[in-house]
Amino acid sequence: IPADTKEFAINASNSRHWYPPVTRYVDEMLAGETGPRAKNFNMRWIASMVADVHRILNRGGIFMYPADQREPDKAGKLRLMYEANPMSFLVEQA
């Protein structure tokens, strides 16, 4: 995985439901060169974790599917057994 990247993947249609730290992080990346990260980022969202992780393995970046305020009792959106665990194993090995 490339160490430096200018891409991230998140479903922006859910932005109105994100918790403030997620909103702040994404806003920092969207601010581009004039923002606190001083870098222009591209936002990608294929809506398939496997495809997004494949792109990240090749081009770097981060995939985010954060918990949001719609269901505060849930810690996140990814299913551990057949999404998060297999993909995190591949990323860790890379």
Mean pLDDT over each residue of the chain, to the nearest integer: 90
> Which residues have C-beta within 8 Å of that of residue 54, sequence separation ≥ 6?
none
List pLDDT tens digits, range 64-80. Answer: 988 889 988 877 777 78
At 2, give phi and psi (nearest 5°): -60, 135
**Confidence band of 9 (pLDDT split at 50, 70, 90):** very high
- Give the pLDDT confidence score for residue 83 in this predicted structure: 82
Q: Give the pLDDT score at 12.
A: 92
pLDDT band at 23 (very low <50, low <70, confident <90, very high): very high
pTM of the model: 0.83
